[in-house]
Amino acid sequence: MKIGELELGERPLFLAPMEDITDPSFRYICKKFGADVMYTEFISSDGLIRDGKKSLRKLDIFDHERPIGIQLYGHLIDSMIEATHLAVNAKPELVDINYGCPVRKIANRGAGAGMLRNIPLMMEMTRAIVQASPLPVTVKTRLGWDEESKNIVSIAEQLQDCGIKGLTIHGRTRNQLYKGHADWTLIGEVKNNPVMKIPIIGNGDVDSPEVAKQMFDRYGVDGIMIGRAAVGRPWLFRDIKHYLATGELLPDPTISEKVDIAEEQFRRSLDWKSEPVGIYEMRRHFSNYFKGIPNFKETRIRLLTTLDVEEIISILAEIKSKWGDLRTNQQSHFWSE
């Protein structure tokens, strides 16, 4: 699979951009476990061009993460063009446009999945960004705004005509948010449309090696993007790759191994975000890393409420000592993909 001139090999796995999730600390861990392509947290074009501190920090990328894309969202073409120039200056391999975020405050002002209600503006914006970027431009979107407007087949053709080099499709409408099941049939229809020449990446509900193989085999997608299922389970990328290559399912890591992984991510989170933000934003990861441990409620509450770094490290050591040899095969689900 190639995006522009970027060679990604067969059946690559992508880490989905997730707000307050796919920061450098989590990306480092996912890359370590075999994610082929990653994206930054999505970045507001308005925040970026106004020198918003949080938005600017999201442009921080590192050589060990490559190839990596910077994802932008916004509802004004001029702002998105200016943000594209700033993103390109950060030297990623890709610029991605977010036409899929369903969050009300974003979609209702016409950004993210809100663009699905204004297809002409979506195409005008896409053409302008493609023209402004010397890097390959990709798009992430959904099947449509609601059940009555699942027009992704037509949208995909038009986006390709605008010059994008790859398209990721989440198998839900905007109105579904993250509820129900992702419908991959329309993703497969886009992929198997003879008009389409660009790579199609499927996204939604891929939470195991078996499901990943099923989606590759049944729908013929070029790549798969994984979001919620990797939170607290970054080894999912490794497990999928191993299963695709051998047909063998790897055992879930022991709790002791999970503690080591979680602690490495936690220390990197502190290095990048400092206290207390690095602690707050690690809590959702901790919660998922240790799902399925019996009689864990009291320890979980302590782990997710303290703001003392040394106490957190001590609790992690306690978890390792008490449950270290245990294996839990708990699938991870979080709110955003």
Give the per-residue pLDDT at 155. 98
> Residues 157, 204: one domain?
yes
**Interatomic CA distance for residues 258 and 7, integer angstroms:** 32
Could you give the number of structural domains in the chain? 2
> Residues 317, 198: one domain?
no
> Residues 147, 285: one domain?
no
pTM above 0.85, yes or no: yes
User: Is 267 a member of any domain?
Assistant: yes
User: Is 147 a member of any domain?
Assistant: yes
Range of the domain at 281: 255-323
User: Is 180 a member of any domain?
Assistant: yes
> Residues 57, 114: one domain?
yes
Please identify, among 246, 274, 299, the residue that sits at the C-terminal boundary of a domain.
246
Residue 42 tokens, joined: 């999505």
Please identify, among 229, 246, 263, the residue that sits at the C-terminal boundary of a domain.
246
> Residues 239, 259: one domain?
no
> Residues 27, 150: one domain?
yes
> Residues 236, 275: one domain?
no
Give the per-residue pLDDT at 330. 54
> Residues 272, 141: one domain?
no
Give the per-residue pLDDT at 273. 86
Crossing angle between the packed helical segments 297-305 and 309-323, to the nearest 10 degrees: 160
User: Is 2 a member of any domain?
Assistant: no
Give the per-residue pLDDT at 164. 98
30 in active site: no
Please identify, among 209, 229, 246, the residue that sits at the C-terminal boundary of a domain.
246
| Spans in the chain with pLDDT lower than 70 | 329-337
Q: Which of 1, 101, 155, 224 is catalytic?
A: 101
Residue 238 tokens, joined: 């490794």
